[in-house]
């Protein structure tokens, strides 16, 4: 997040890309995107594009990680070296991708009936092929669909989005506005960014991370906006899964 006041990112309620504060970028979801994975999904949100693939339940390697009463849900998040515009990311995992992999694994574990698959592992691989902000929530959304596509028993789908605070102007006055689905400029120069993972039917938060600073009032305003956005994403997740299985 920016450490000093950036240029205006929202003017009289209109963001740089023409959206309102409550509006997310165009969303595209495809379930069953890969032929050779047991479950897969493609999620495109604005310029962010993510593929997720699910394998398992299967034998755990290394074996000392085996859980006797439940399955081990493992997510690996990575960004392709060509995914970042104007620069080339070093191939392989880094500290950020390791941290995201961990929190995504924990969020997915909350959604899966882990007790149904003891002594096994379920692996989900998330690859960001184009990064234009909010990649971790797009990856979590895709991973959840991949699990469902693989037939894994789940309490609910995980729908995920971002919300945060951006600097702008309203009637010529300087304002700080809470908005959902942070875009590239907002991610780079915004004042705060929150990643939210949500189980809509259970009304349960399974991921909540914040960079930057929100006041209590700003958080209380932003969280319902994020939840509402997650509920909209959830409907598109269901639509994508129904479209995939309707053909059989």
**Domain annotation covers residue 199:** yes
Residue 245 has pLDDT above 90, yes or no: no
Q: What is the pLDDT of residue 34?
A: 96
We report the CATH number of the domain holding residue 59 as: 3.30.230.70
Per-residue confidence (pLDDT) for residue 8, from 0 to 100: 86
Contact 24, 232 (CB under 8 A): yes
How many domains does the structure of the chain reveal? 1
Name 155's Cβ contacts closer than 8 Å, sequence gap at least 6.
Answer: 110, 111, 112, 113, 199, 201, 202
Ordered alpha helix ranges (H), the chain: 95-111, 135-149, 184-189, 216-246
pLDDT at 188: 87
Report DSSP state, residue 25.
P
pTM: 0.92
Report the run of H or E that residue 80 belongs to, with start and end: none
Q: What is the mean pLDDT of residues 8-32?
A: 94
Residue 145: is its pLDDT beyond 90?
Answer: yes
Q: Do 122 and 54 form a contact (C-beta atoms < 8 A)?
A: yes
Whether 247 is covered by a domain: the verdict is no
* In a domain? residue 204: yes
Does residue 3 form part of some domain? no
Cis peptide before 168 (omega within 30 of 0): no
The 10s digit of each residue's pLDDT in 29-53 is 999 999 999 999 999 999 999 999 9
Predicted pLDDT of residue 87: 66
Give the confidence band of 92 by pLDDT, cuts at 50, 70, 90. low
Domain, as residue range, for 146: 10-242
Q: Per-residue pLDDT for 86 more than 90?
A: no
210 pLDDT more than 80: yes
Stretch 62-66: mean pLDDT: 93
Residue at 4 is within a domain: no
Average pLDDT over residues 139-147: 98
How much is the average pLDDT of 182-202? 94
pLDDT of residue 91: 64
The sign one gets for the Cα dihedral 187, 190, 195, 199 is negative
Is 5 among the domain residues? no
Residues 77-86 have a mean pLDDT of: 83
**Per the domain annotation, does 150 fall within a domain?**
yes
Flag whether pLDDT at 1 surpasses 60: no
Q: In the structure, what pLDDT confidence band is assigned to residue 3 with cuts at 50, 70 and 90?
A: very low
CA dihedral 233, 192, 101, 160 (to 10 degrees): -10
Residue 87 CB contacts under 8 Å (≥ 6 apart), including other chains: none
Q: Is the per-residue pLDDT at 101 higher than 50? A: yes
Q: Average pLDDT of 213-238?
A: 97
Is there a domain that residue 248 lies in?
no
User: In sequence order, what E strands does 24-113 have?
Assistant: 27-31, 39-45, 48-58, 72-79
Provide mean pLDDT across the span 58-68: 94
- Under the banding of pLDDT at 50, 70 and 90, the label for residue 90 is low
């Amino acid at each position: 997040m920016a450490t000093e006041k950036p240029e205006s990112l929202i003017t009289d309620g209109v963001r740089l890309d023409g959206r309102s504060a409550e509006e997310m970028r165009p969303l595209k979801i495809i379930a069953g995107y890969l032929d050779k994975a047991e479950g897969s999904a493609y999620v495109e949100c604005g310029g962010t594009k993510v593929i997720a693939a699910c394998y398992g339940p299967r034998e755990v390697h290394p074996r000392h990680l085996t859980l006797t009463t439940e399955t081990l849900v493992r997510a690996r998040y990575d960004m392709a070296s060509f995914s970042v515009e104007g620069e080339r990311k070093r191939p392989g995992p880094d500290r950020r991708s390791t941290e995201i992999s961990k929190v995504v694994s924990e969020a997915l574990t909350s959604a899966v009936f882990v007790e149904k698959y003891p002594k096994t592992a379920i692996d989900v691989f998330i690859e960001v092929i184009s990064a234009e902000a909010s990649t971790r929530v797009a990856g979590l959304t895709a991973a959840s669909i991949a699990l469902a596509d693989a037939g894994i028993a789940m309490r609910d789908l995980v729908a995920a989005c971002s919300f945060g605070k951006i600097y702008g102007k309203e009637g010529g006055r300087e304002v700080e506005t809470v908005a959902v689905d942070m875009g590239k400029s907002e991610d780079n120069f915004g004042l705060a960014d929150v990643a939210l993972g949500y189980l809509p039917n259970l009304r349960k938060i399974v991921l909540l991370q914040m960079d930057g600073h929100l006041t209590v009032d700003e958080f209380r305003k932003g969280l319902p906006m994020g939840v509402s956005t997650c509920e909209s994403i959830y409907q598109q997740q269901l639509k994508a899964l129904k479209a995939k299985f309707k053909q059989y």
